Amino acid sequence: MRYWRALPALLALGTGCALPLDDEPTASEQPSSLEAPLTWEPCTTRARLLKDIAPGAPGSEPESLVRGEDGLFFTADDGTHGRELWVSSGTGGAGSFLVKDIRPGLDSSEPNELTRVGDKLFFTADDGVHGRELWVSDGTASGTFLVKDIHASPLELGPSGLVEFNGRVYFAAEDEVNGRELWVSDGTASGTFMVEDLYPGDDIFSPGTPGSSSPRRMTRTSESFYFVANVGRRVKLWRSEGVPGATPVFDAVEDNVVFNMTPVGSGPLFFLVDNDEGEASLWVTRGTLASTRKLRFFPGAYPHDMTALNGKLYFSAGRPRGGLEGDPAGEELWVSDGSVSGTRRLKDIHPGPGDSRPGSLKVMNRKLFFAADDGVRGRELWVSDGTSGGTKLLKDLEPGATGSLPTELAPIEGTLFFSAETSGRGREAWLSDGTAGGTRALTEIAPGAASASPSGFIRSGWDVFFTADDGTHGRELWALPFRPEDRCSR
């Protein structure tokens, strides 16, 4: 049963003033545990520009949109302060503001890896003094600060790979003693420390310098998180519960690349292994070395868009023409249940040697939505219930061999937002309830054949935010009112 927690009613401005959030649900409007799940809907088809953050410039280019406790966090460059951390409540004008000029002046602190942990936002930034370090923010200037100067040198790489787990943020960092290892933070200096030194002693390749396991590609599940780290010449995939005692679940030679870790519910973790030849095998683990096994080698391009649905893994894969005898030609939609025999092509959408190139795989209402080209109607929006017979074209938005080229698929509360390009309208924002009849365009942002090229769809409060270029203001932040049914008039 879905519920929603009332968000705080006030969002403090960086100036110290307070601004009410735009139509946030109140405590009295929360459905009880006996009520049906809320049904959300767009209140209009017309999105609004929230603020011209960089007037007279090509646009502030908002990036890294993240839903926060009290509003939407993002980074932007207003042409005066450089690229810094901003927040928006969804209201126009003063509702979108600079949180803090971390690196004063035109220079940018370049906030990166924005990661929400409870009511805090963690990120990395360079204030021009300490180098790139870990920062935290509650959406106010006074509540935005350097957590800890982990490495004294401003030239150090800085924290990376931020992932939330059990109410804290885990990441890779290097101090002056232990090399680059796994760290954790609760947002305080005393609560920021190394979890464990996976590669103690000197680096075998550089005696006299600390060994660095260099944790990377952090991927969390409901019960643990996984990451790749080196120990000497070995590349290992590790499982951690956030305390000392991480265990390896895959051990490879030094030239292997382990990547694209994808959990399927609370069950297996799938991942790819490249043997340094530009091709990859699909592997699966249930969290132990004994349960880790290879499922299939895919010559040619890497499998991609690995997505979990109904206890199985779906992805795009294939082989180049003229590949190994017996392998299916073309890049198509595949599925795996974690067994060798259950790792198979789901459907040949572009029959024969052609490539349908499924991409942007997203799950909504227990179905898989993606873009693909069947060789006749061009690249369009498809839907699958996980079976070959239930994999079909959802709607032909642009008749002809090119198609509408859907991208930026984002399922939000039962509505699929995406970007598509059609004749006379350019690339604009669309939405779908999962049916052909319920798939429609929003009002154009860039009129005529010009393209607004919307991207980054995300809900915060009672709005769906995204970035777009209307041809006048450059790329800026836009919002569409999106609320529980019967609340659009409020």
pLDDT (tens digit, 9 = 90+) per residue, 52-83? 999 988 899 999 999 987 789 999 999 999 99
Using CA atoms, how far apart are residues 242 and 235, in angstroms rounded to an integer? 20
The DSSP bridge partners found for residue 417 are 410, 431
Sheet holding 332-336, edge to edge: 304-309, 312-317, 332-336, 344-347
**Could you tell me the two tokens for 227?**
């990451």
Q: What is the pLDDT of residue 203?
A: 82
- Mind listing the pLDDT tens digit for each residue in 349-368? 999 888 999 999 999 999 99
Mean pLDDT of the chain: 89
Angle subtended at Cα 480 by Cα 476 and Cα 484, rounded to the nearest 5 degrees: 150
Given a cut of 50, whether residue 9 has pLDDT beyond it is no
Q: What is the pLDDT of residue 22?
A: 38
Given a cut of 70, whether residue 194 has pLDDT beyond it is yes
Given a cut of 60, whether residue 321 has pLDDT beyond it is no
Given a cut of 70, whether residue 1 has pLDDT beyond it is no
The percentage of residues in the chain with a pLDDT greater than 90, rounded to a whole number, is 76
By mean pLDDT, which of 9-23, 68-82, 118-132, 272-286 is the weakest? 9-23
Which of 488 and 262 is assigned the larger pLDDT?
262
Contacts of 198 (CB under 8 A, 6+ apart): 181, 182, 213, 215, 229, 231, 238, 246
**Could you tell me the two tokens for 178?**
């232990």
Residue 481, classified by CB atoms within 10 Å of its CB into exposed (0-12), middle (13-18) or buried (19+), is buried
Confidence of residue 404 (pLDDT cuts 50, 70, 90): very high
Given a cut of 80, whether residue 261 has pLDDT beyond it is yes
Contacts of 239 (CB under 8 A, 6+ apart): 224, 225, 226, 246, 247, 248, 249, 287
How many whole angstroms from its chain centre is CA 168?
Answer: 18
Given a cut of 50, whether residue 26 has pLDDT beyond it is no
Considering only CA atoms, which of 238, 132, 120, 215 is closest in space to residue 168?
A: 120
Which of 272 and 33 is assigned the larger pLDDT?
272
By mean pLDDT, which of 2-6, 22-26, 238-242, 290-294 is the weakest? 2-6
Q: What is the pLDDT of residue 229?
A: 95
Q: What is the pLDDT of residue 327?
A: 52
Confidence of residue 278 (pLDDT cuts 50, 70, 90): confident
Given a cut of 50, whether residue 30 has pLDDT beyond it is no
What's the whole-number mean pLDDT along residues 21-40? Answer: 50
Confidence of residue 207 (pLDDT cuts 50, 70, 90): confident
- Mind listing the pLDDT tens digit for each residue in 97-152? 999 999 999 999 999 999 999 999 999 999 999 999 999 999 999 999 999 999 98
Using CA atoms, how far apart are residues 396 and 403, in angstroms rounded to an integer? 7
By mean pLDDT, which of 103-117, 193-207, 234-248 is the weakest? 193-207
Given a cut of 50, whether residue 402 has pLDDT beyond it is yes
Q: What is the 3-state secondary structure (H, E, C) of the chain?
A: CCCCCCCCCEEECCCCCEEECCCCCCHHHCCCCCCCCCCEEECCCCCEECCCCCCCCCECCCEEEEECCCCEEEEEECCCCCEEEEEECCCCHHHEEEEECCCCCCCCCCCEEEEEECCEEEEEEECCCCCEEEEEECCCCCCCEEEECCCCCCCCCCCEEEEEECCEEEEEEEECCCEEEEEEECCCCCCEEEEECCCCCEECCEEEEECCCCCEEEEECCCCEEEEEEECCEEEEEEECCCCCCEEEEEECCCCEEEEEEECCCCCEEEEEECCCCCEEEEEECCCCCCCEEEEEECCCCCEEEEEECCEEEEEECCCCCCCCCCCCCCEEEEECCCCCCCEEEECCCCCCCCCCCEEEEEECCEEEEEEECCCCCEEEEEECCCCCCEEEEECCCCCCCECCCEEEEEECCEEEEEEEECCCEEEEEEECCCCCCEEECCCCCCCCCCCCCEEEEEECCEEEEEEECCCCCEEEEEEEEEECCCCCC
Quick count: other Cβ atoms within 10 Å of Cβ 439? Answer: 18
Given a cut of 90, whether residue 469 has pLDDT beyond it is yes
Q: What is the pLDDT of residue 197?
A: 95
Given a cut of 90, whether residue 28 has pLDDT beyond it is no
- Mind listing the pLDDT tens digit for each residue in 168-180? 999 999 998 899 9
